[in-house]
Structure 1
Amino acid sequence: MTHRPRFAGIVLAGGSARRLSGVDKPELRVGGISLLGRAVEALTGAEPVVVCGPRRPGYDTVVWTREDLPGAGPVAALAAGLEAVDAEIVVLLAADLPGIRRSTVDRLRSTVENTDGAVLVDAAGARQWLVSAWHAAALRAAMPEHPENASLRRTLAGLRIAEVAAEPGESEDIDTPEDLEKHR
């Protein structure tokens, strides 16, 4: 049996949800559980699970952090999350994924071994950067000196990446009222 290194989880739960009239998107409920709750549940076994975004009640097992300038984008949030972890592997998730599950995290973790990272790829072939697993050292090395408003794709695209094909529903996110309605 192969030993898998300890892993941490980072969930990006900030953002303004402009296309959803500014609602607290991570707290939207699908199937009786919040989207943030789904992400935290998918990261079962992670030490710690770090949530980058405004503190919300009911998540007693997570570590909360914020980027220095709230709203400065996913790279700034990821940089803040990295400061709270010391695990060898980091699983990065968005907090708006209704189809995320533990098996998704397990597949990403099992693929990251001989690369810098493993990224879920949707049916159209697009990399889903916020459903990924990384060697923490590679992530730290890729972080720009000033992460505010940096492009996540540009920040991570230069790393050695394995692509993991998404199973149905895994890569979907909720950005619009129509997306939410589809998952209700």
Structure 2
Amino acid sequence: MGAERAVNALILTGGRSSRFGGVHKPGVSVDGTPVLTRLHAALTALPVHAIWVSGPTDGLHEDARPSVRQVFERPRFSGPLAGIAAAVSDMPADPGAVVLLLAGDVPYTSTADLSLLAETSAATGRAAGCADASGRLQYLCAAWPDTLLRDRLWLIGDPADQPVRRLWEGVEHVLVDVSAASVEDFDTAEDFRRITGLEAPRSPRAEPGYEGGAG
């Protein structure tokens, strides 16, 4: 990819993690490093021009916080498409840029795969996506030309509570072969155990004697 073509990235960290016991998934530690910090490291190794986090930054190492811009979907908990729209509206428009869209609950994202997605999108001028082992398109492991992404969001209108697949409807995209690890997210404790070999952390609310607290 030409050095003049910027690659921006956004990581979606909103949501209630209800199927994961209410524990904030991007903040969960895997091999001593929270998932969000692992994603940040994969992106900075690419490297990217700038990173947006749409949602909480829990799990992001303190040293990395100055290097990201944090936004929130409007209204809160109105879904990942609203999170994408909030981040893109905060990004300076750049017709030559590529934007990586990433879920915040993928612990083993590969820098090489991210590079391939970005390069493919830049070379073709299309959205570049990938599929999981079942052949299902992964909407949040993808790269988009900046202008195309903005055009799609404008056509959709209000993004609140709409599915991310709306972005892809009628769009001629390119499928890129990536490693299984780059698309393995976890929604449940069972998913987490299967992917990482680790036990999922429990919410304090699940502990005997928990009485809650302020805030």
Residues paired across the two proteins, number: 183
1:73 to 2:101 alignment: no
Q: Secondary structure at 1:93's aligned position in 2?
A: strand
Aligned match of 1:90: 99
Aligned match of 1:101: 110
1:111 to 2:120 alignment: yes
Aligned match of 1:146: 158
**How far off its partner does 1:100 sit?**
0.4
Comparing 117-126 and 72-81, the one that deviates more: 117-126
Aligned match of 1:122: 132
**Structure 1: how far apart are the matches of 2:112 and 2:51?**
17
**How far off its partner does 1:155 sit?**
2.3
Q: Secondary structure at 1:170's aligned position in 2?
A: helix
- Does the 8 Å contact 2:110/2:181 carry over to 1? no
**How far off its partner does 1:157 sit?**
2.8
Gaps of 5+ in 2: 199-215
Within 5 Å, give how 1:51-70 maps onto structure 2.
51-56=53-58, 58=62, 59-60=64-65, 61-70=67-76
Residue type matched to 1:25 in 2?
K
Name whichever structure is richer in helix by fraction.
Answer: 2
Which stretches of structure 1, 4 residues or more, deviate above 6 A after TM superposition? none
Residue type matched to 2:98 in 1?
I
**How far off its partner does 1:84 sit?**
2.3
Aligned match of 1:156: 168
**How far off its partner does 1:119 sit?**
0.6
Aligned match of 2:22: 22
RMSD: 1.5
TM-score w.r.t. structure 2 length?
A: 0.80
**How far off its partner does 1:52 sit?**
0.2
TM-score w.r.t. structure 1 length?
A: 0.93
Name whichever structure is richer in strand by fraction.
Answer: 1
1:3 to 2:15 alignment: no
Comparing 150-159 and 134-143, the one that deviates more: 150-159
**Structure 2: how far apart are the matches of 1:18 and 1:156?**
26
Deviations 1:80-138 (A, max 9, x none): 01022234110010110012021111010121121321012112111111000000111
Match of 1:173 among 167, 185, 189: 185
1:42 to 2:52 alignment: no
**How far off its partner does 1:33 sit?**
1.3
Q: Secondary structure at 2:182's aligned position in 1?
A: coil
- Does the 8 Å contact 1:89/1:135 carry over to 2? yes
Aligned match of 1:133: 143
Percent of matched pairs sharing the same residue: 30
